[in-house]
Structure 1
Amino acid sequence: MAEAAVANRKGGVVEDLRNHLSLLVSGIDQEPTITAFKNGSADKNLYVAFLVQTRHYVALTAPRLEAAGRRLKELGEHPELADLFFQKAEEESGHDILVDDDLCSLGLDPEKTLAENPPGEWITAYNSWITAATNGRHPAAFLGSAYILEGLAVERAGKVARALVASSSIPKIADAVTFLDLHAEADIGHVDDLERILAELDDAAEHDAIVMTAAATRGAYLGMLDEVGRRQAKAH
C-alpha cells in the first residue's frame, strides 16, 4: 500500500488504521455468514439480509461526506480535504442503487424489502457514530471509516463475489453481486490515496478521532455480520 509514499512512524495513524483493517479482514474470514457465502451454503434469505444492512449504511455515505466537507469549511480547517470530501460524495452518490439492482436481480422490490427490514442494532449504531463524528469537532474522523470500508472492499469484496457465483445455488446470483464486484474494482488505489492524505495530518486529537472511527467501523461491520447470521438462524 504505497509503502514509499508514506513516512509511517511507529504508532502513527496510518499504522493504526492498517492494524484495524488487518483485524477486520481476519475477523471477516471467521464470520459464519461470510463462510456460508464462500462455501455455497448461504441461502437467498441470508444474502438478502446482508444486502439490506449494507444498503442501510451505504445510503448514508454520500450525505455524510458532504456534511464532513461542510463542517471543515465551517471550522476553517483542511480546505483541500473538504474539497476532497465533496468530490468523494459525488463519486459515492448512487452506490446504494447498486444494492437495489442486486435486490431486483433476486426478484425483490427494493423499496418494500428495505421498509420491511430496517437497520439492525449495529448499523444503527454505526450510522449514529458517523453522523456525530462528521458534525463534531473533528470531521476528518470520517477518514477512519473510509479507510476501513474501502480497504475491506479491496481485500475481500471481489473474492466473496466470485465465491458466491462459483458455489451458490441462489437463483440468478451471478446478476446479484454488482455492489461487491464494482466496489472491489473501484476502491483499488483509494486506500493508497487515503494513506497519503492521512500522513499529512499532524494533530493528535484528530488522529485519535480517525482511529476511533476506524475501530467503531470495524466493530460495527463484524457485529452486523453476526447479527445477520443469528437472525437468519433463528428464522429457520
Structure 2
Amino acid sequence: MTLSARALLDGIQAELAPRDGDNRLLPLITTGQAPQAVFAAIAAEEQRITSSDLRSFHAMAARTGEPNARAFFGGLPPGEQQAHDLLDALVDAVGPDQGMELPRAGCQAYPAYVAWLALHAEPSAAAAGIYSNFTAWGRYCKAVAEAMRTHYDFDDAACAFFDFFAADVPEIEQRVLAAIQAGLDTGRLQPEQAHLYARLFQNYELMFWNTLADEFSAQP
C-alpha cells in the first residue's frame, strides 16, 4: 500500500511527541519565573531568524519545479515578513537598547539548517520536515503569549508575534499535504529523509529555547 501524506505526517508527529516537553524555557515563562529581559533576547534572535527563513523559503520555491511544493514554499515568505514586522512592537516594549545583542549560535542553528535544506534537500521531504515542527512551535507561541499577558503585563501589540504563529492556518496544511503527496507519488520523497529532517528540526527548535533557558535561568 502506498504511504499517504497524512500517514507520513502522523507518523512523524508520533515519533517526535515524546520530546515535546523538553523545552526548558517555556515553564519558566509560563510561571513568570523568567526575567523580562528574556523577551528582548527572543525578539533579537527572531528578527534574524524570520529574515533568514524568508530568503530560504524563496530559494526553495525557486529551486523546485513541482507545482505543489512551489505553492507551499512560495506561500511561506509573506507570513515570515508579517511576523518580522510584528516584532517591532515587542522590541519597542522591551526597550530600544535591549535588542542589540550578538546572535547566539544555539538560537541561530535552526535558520542555518533551513538555509542548508534550501540548497540541498528534496523539496517535498523538506516540506514534511519543516511543517512537522510547526505544531510544537505554534503551541509554544500560544503559551508564551498567554504568559506575557498574565505575568508580564505586555499589551496585545507586544504579543502579536506570538499570537500570529499560535493561530491555525488550514491552507498551509493543505498545501504541505499536496506537496508531500506529490513527492510520494513520484518517488522523489524518501520517508526516512522526511523523518530525519523533522528530528533535526525538533532538535534545533529545542536548542533555541534551551539556549535561552540556560542563560536566563542563571540570572537572579
1:216 maps to which residue?
200
Q: In 1, distance between residues paired with 2:170 and 2:72?
A: 17
Asked if the contact 1:125/1:220 (under 8 Å) is kept, the reply is yes
Moved more, 175-184 or 53-62: 53-62
The one-letter code matched in structure 2 to 1:106 is V
CA distance change for structure 1 residues 52 and 90 in 2, over 3 Å: closer, same or farther?
same
Asked if the contact 1:69/1:82 (under 8 Å) is kept, the reply is yes
CA distance change for structure 1 residues 123 and 107 in 2, over 3 Å: closer, same or farther?
closer
Asked if the contact 1:21/1:152 (under 8 Å) is kept, the reply is no
1:16 maps to which residue?
11
1:122 has 2:110 as partner = no
**Offset, 1:153:** 4.0
2:75 maps to which residue?
87
**Offset, 1:193:** 4.4
**Offset, 1:161:** 1.1
- Kindly report which structure 2 residues correspond to 1:49-198, keeping only aligned pairs within 5 A, or say none: 49-73=41-65, 78-109=66-97, 113-114=99-100, 116-118=101-103, 120-166=104-150, 168=151, 170=152, 172=154, 174-187=156-169, 190-191=172-173, 193-198=175-180
Q: In 2, distance between residues paired with 1:156 and 1:92?
A: 17
Q: In 1, distance between residues paired with 2:106 and 2:15?
A: 18
Q: In 1, distance between residues paired with 2:40 and 2:125?
A: 30
The one-letter code matched in structure 2 to 1:84 is F
- Kindly report which structure 2 residues correspond to 1:17-56, keeping only aligned pairs within 5 A, or say none: 17-28=12-23, 31=24, 33-56=25-48
CA distance change for structure 1 residues 95 and 86 in 2, over 3 Å: closer, same or farther?
same
User: What are the ranges of 5 or more consecutive residues in structure 2 without an aligned counterpart?
Assistant: none
| RMSD (CA atoms) | 2.8
Q: In 1, distance between residues paired with 2:175 and 2:68?
A: 13
CA distance change for structure 1 residues 145 and 52 in 2, over 3 Å: closer, same or farther?
farther
Asked if the contact 1:106/1:172 (under 8 Å) is kept, the reply is no
Q: What TM-score does the superposition give when structure 2 sets the normalisation length? A: 0.81
The one-letter code matched in structure 2 to 1:87 is G
**Offset, 1:20:** 4.7
SS in 1 for 2:95: coil
CA distance change for structure 1 residues 21 and 124 in 2, over 3 Å: closer, same or farther?
same
Once the two structures are superposed, residues 163-222 of structure 1 have per-residue CA deviations (whole angstroms, 9 ceiling, x without a partner) of 3311x1x35355421111111125455345433532442136543333222111110111
Q: In 2, distance between residues paired with 1:160 and 1:68?
A: 30
Moved more, 220-229 or 96-105: 96-105
Moved more, 203-212 or 100-109: 203-212
The one-letter code matched in structure 1 to 2:118 is T
Asked if the contact 2:4/2:181 (under 8 Å) is kept, the reply is yes
User: What are the ranges of 5 or more consecutive residues in structure 1 without an aligned counterpart?
Assistant: 1-5
Q: In 2, distance between residues paired with 1:24 and 1:173?
A: 31
* Number of aligned residues: 216
Q: Which runs of 4+ in 1 moved over 4 A?
A: 6-9
Q: In 2, distance between residues paired with 1:63 and 1:148?
A: 20
Q: What TM-score does the superposition give when structure 1 sets the normalisation length? A: 0.76
